[in-house]
Amino acid sequence: MMNPLDLTGRAIVVTGASGGIGRSTAVLLGGLGARVVLVGRDTSRLEETSSLMEGADHRIAPFDLNRLEEIPQWLAGLADEVGPFSGLVHCAGITSLVPLRVLGIEQLDEVMRVNFYSAVVLTKEFARKRAHTAKSSIVLVASVAGILAAPARSAYSASKGALIAFARSVAIELAKSGVRVNCVAPSYVRTEMYEKSADGLTPDQLSSSVDATQPLGLGTPLDVAHSIAYLIADTGQWITGSVLSVDGGYASQ
């Protein structure tokens, strides 16, 4: 019986592959047979990710997604070298915990550029005919914060909410070209970003907070990676414009 999660030979770009959800996703997709292009700013951390992966036909592509104007030429060059892409997973992102009263334009712009604007430009360039295969899939990593309110996260929530709205709209626009677009919306997952979110809380206090809001407890990057693989592979071939909550039950309360 054919494995619908088999990605053998398919070229897939994973941003934010230097750690957290991006790293787990890259390792998982490589284990499913994909040829993964690892994107991030830190070459040494991308090499660490590569060392964890099965297969030898992967590629490290260091790049700063803040350089929005350079993305089109950069991604087109990768497509020419690697071949048309079957998938794009946009995991790169930054957190922001700033009360509205002190939120500045520069802070807002930084969060939007990394979390939202880069996703728009990447999706636009991926959608060009020469960049993707006949049937391909884009997964954008949003957040439960883009669905539910949280104090002092207005900029972060706005960037993730924009990502969700964008994915839903562009999914309809790209359906006829064979490109599916979906989001996953994680809540607290044990990553470096999670550790930074403590904001003065002790580890025990942060753990208690998670236990109180997530019935299934704290997730792992692999939990999210599994959902991404499902949407990237043929298992998700009839899914587009969706938002999959991967949050331990957070959004159900």
Q: Is residue 214 part of a domain?
A: no
* Residue 65 structure tokens: 């997604």
Catalytic residue among 117, 156, 194, 250: 156
CA angle 168, 134, 246 (to 5 degrees): 40
Q: Is residue 233 part of a domain?
A: yes
Q: Is residue 78 part of a domain?
A: yes
CA angle 88, 126, 148 (to 5 degrees): 55
Give bridge partners of residue 40 from the DSSP assignment.
62
Q: Is residue 3 part of a domain?
A: no
How far, CA to CA in Å, does 131 sit from each of 45, 80, 115, 156?
26, 8, 22, 30
> What pLDDT score does 193 carry?
61
Q: Is residue 21 part of a domain?
A: yes
Q: Is residue 89 part of a domain?
A: yes
CATH number at residue 59: 3.40.50.720
> What pLDDT score does 206 carry?
64
> What pLDDT score does 163 carry?
97
Burial (Cβ within 10 Å: 0-12, 13-18, ≥19) of residue 44: exposed
Q: Is residue 35 part of a domain?
A: yes
> What pLDDT score does 196 carry?
60
Query: What are the φ and ψ backbone dihedral angles of 202, each rounded to 5 degrees?
Result: -75, 160
156 in catalytic set: yes
> What pLDDT score does 24 carry?
97
List per-residue pLDDT tens for the chain, 253 residues long.
Answer: 789 999 999 999 999 999 999 999 999 999 999 999 999 999 999 999 999 999 889 999 999 999 999 999 999 999 999 989 999 999 998 877 777 787 778 888 898 999 999 999 999 999 999 999 999 999 999 998 888 877 767 888 899 999 999 999 999 999 999 999 999 999 888 766 656 655 555 666 666 667 767 778 788 999 999 999 999 999 999 999 999 999 888 787 7
| Count of domains observed in the chain | 1
135 closest CA partner among 236, 19, 252: 236
Q: Is residue 93 part of a domain?
A: yes
Looking at this protein, which amino acid is placed at residue 252?
S
Domain with 115 in it: 11-190+220-246
